Amino acid sequence: MESITYTQSQLQDVAQKIISLARSKCLAFYAPMGAGKTTLIKALVAELGGLDEVSSPTFGLVNEYHNAKGELLAYHFDFYRLQDEMEALDMGLDDYLASDTWIFMEWPEKIPSLVPEDSVAVRIEILSPTERQISF
């Protein structure tokens, strides 16, 4: 397990490290509200060459991001508002997971039996208003 303490100015370095060490393209982000899940995903998308504006898909549940050629780069899910796992299945989660693209999941604890076994658990802990610790 890798563990890194970082500040906002070090996000791109952290994103590079996660991408280089990830054993899967599916990343499940576990962290409290306000820990910086979306901010880290924004850095990951930028590091992967994404051009789209990254924002939390809280209301739409999923955002997709593309590279400079317009090719699909990643899906970004926010399961915070789900009441049960059936809602994720109803939105076609299985199809998204079957794609050969990066998957970023916020609040995967809302769909525990649907998170792929090979996904990388990314845990963010708030150390101070400016410091976070990530382990994956």
pLDDT digits (tens, 9 = 90+) for 63-74: 999 999 999 999
- List CB contacts of 61: < 8 A, sequence separation 6 or more: 77, 78, 79, 81, 82, 91
Structure tokens at 49: 């060459």
Give the CATH fold of the 3-135 domain.
Rossmann fold (3.40.50)
Domain spans of the chain, in order of start: 3-135
Q: What is the pLDDT of residues 80-123, one digit of tens each?
A: 999 999 999 999 999 999 999 999 999 999 999 999 999 999 99
